[in-house]
Amino acid sequence: MIKAGWRSFAIYGFGLALCQPLAGCGSAENPAASTKDASASTKVAAIPADAPLVIAFGDSLYAGYQLGPKEGLAPQLQAALAADGTPARVQNAGVSGDTTAAGLQRLTFVLDNAKVKPALVLLGLGGNDMLRGIRPAETRANLDAMLAELKKRGIPVVLTGMMASPNMGSDYATAFNPIYPDLAAKYGASLYPFILDNVVTDKTLMLGDNVHPNAKGVGVIVEGLAPLVEDALPDAK
């Protein structure tokens, strides 16, 4: 995180601590319910029926909170991959408000009920833990357990990290921030260090709540994330 962005990130942390969005999940073709019209969205290219499955498993930053059906992380990532010549079916398994504990409870269900074995899982949880003041040791243990389950199933992972809001204090940040790079190294996962990098500090890329990215902000995230996904997909190697 760039030092100049700490003030905006503090605003983000305060807003997210107060935010209690509705849960939602779906696929890129059948995404979570939205409060916005997607009529202006770019048409998504047709995806081959045998395209690899990517499951985006996270919280509201994955779920597409208050975005149109084609504006969230899953549909924008799916479109970006197709445009780059790496078609994949990206399933939105984001649930707003999820903690790592909640994610751990539902991970097996999501994996067991996937139509095919996922070629890749994007894992992005922990922000709600941080803003609720949950002990970093618990967050680490829950993420570790999820990564262990994915490794046991032979599913590659791209881990999207979070950083502690400055208002949590330096001691908390010292314990929380290393979780993602440590676990990525332990499990050989690809790491996108901070999912809101270059987004949270720019109000033009955020919704009015200063908590969630708008469609343009998601596009910035996808621009940085897509190359990691392409490299992590087994068929792309």
Catalytic residue from among 59, 165, 197, 212: 212
Catalytic residue from among 27, 59, 60, 129: 60
41 flagged as catalytic: no
60 flagged as catalytic: yes
Distance CA 159, CA 66 (A): 23
202 flagged as catalytic: no
Q: Where are the beta strands (DSSP E) in the chain?
A: 53-58, 89-94, 120-124, 157-160, 190-192
Please, where are the H alpha helices in 98-232?
Answer: 100-112, 127-131, 136-152, 170-176, 179-187, 215-232
Distance CA 88, CA 53 (A): 6
Q: Which residues pair with 94 in a beta bridge?
A: 58
Specify whether the CB–CB gap between 193 and 161 falls below 8 A.
yes
Distance CA 204, CA 102 (A): 31
Specify whether the CB–CB gap between 186 and 38 falls below 8 A.
no
Cβ contacts of 174 within 8 Å, gap of 6 or more: none
Phi-psi region of 126 (alpha: psi -120 to 50; beta: other; left: phi over 0): left
- By annotation, the residues acting in catalysis are 60, 209, 212
